[in-house]
Amino acid sequence: MLVSLLMDPKPPGATLLLAPAARGGATARLPPSDSRRAHFPPVDEHLVTPEVTRDEVIRGRKVVAAPSLEPHAEQQVRLDFLIAPHLRPGYIGAADLITRVANGSDFATDLSIRRAGTDPATGRRYLEELSFEIVNEQSMRDVREKAEDLVARGVRRVFALFVKRDEVAEWSPAEGRFVPFAPDATIEDPCLIRPVPVRALLDGAAAEREVVRALERKGNPEIEAIKARERQAALDEGQRAMLLRLLGARFGEVPEAARARILAASGERLAAWAERLLAVRTLDELFAG
């Protein structure tokens, strides 16, 4: 049956050039008009059997989605780890989500981002808006044709991470190729809570830093709790230093035992001692309260 599939001509949808992809801008396809929607099969109506076979189809050509070697597999973990916390509320990330891209194409990319919920125009899941492909041993023909078909279907942006070149690029329909990002560039998109530095896509330590910043931007409760504890610790430390200076001015050199009590005291206890300081005549009287 696969052999009999005919490759459909690409729909002649308009292309909106936002900015050259190599400089961090986006090249986006306008969504298909209602008159063209019938040209595409539903995104989740498949030519192959997901999670049963490793087969994919690109323009009627059967391709086997093989298991990964270490470079690809390790990059996959880094990519998923980095992008998931950067998703803006209302968007979903998915790994290896298979999509019926055209009548003759049914394949998955390594990571995709789409709107949550159901598309009212189709009654099915939304088409992905961003797709990421990790390129290690794959055929460049497969990678290129995937990008072309994804953009033709309506995916706004398609990225490739070239493992052997340590490079991130974005597909440019205008140029018909993947255009590399500068190493210090960032990827900005409405799907993302904050810009993602290109370097973080390739470097584990940089990815960890950016994940923390993304969670902080989202107001993650655990991070907020840590920040609150750090603020309180700083306030308590300031209180301790001030109390020791006042005690020294009032009673002379502070004994080591008294200093130890102050250093171990809670913020509430320090505040209570500070309030009593002018009313007591000795250190023992201060600590007795």
The percentage of the chain sitting over the pLDDT mark of 70, rounded to a whole number, equals 87
What pLDDT was estimated at residue 38?
53
pTM, rounded to two decimals: 0.71
Fold of 15-217: tt1808, chain A (3.90.1570)
Mean per-residue pLDDT for 27-36? 45
Is it the case that residue 11 has pLDDT exceeding 80? Answer: no
Is it the case that residue 165 has pLDDT exceeding 90? Answer: yes
Cα 171 to Cα 173: distance, rounded to the nearest angstrom: 6
What pLDDT was estimated at residue 231?
86
Domain coordinates of the chain in residue numbers?
15-217, 221-288
Considering 2-16, 43-57, 135-149, 233-247, the range whose residues carry the highest mean pLDDT is 135-149
What pLDDT was estimated at residue 66?
82
Mean per-residue pLDDT for 121-145? 96
C-alpha dist (Å) from residue 99 to 39, 67, 272: 15, 19, 65
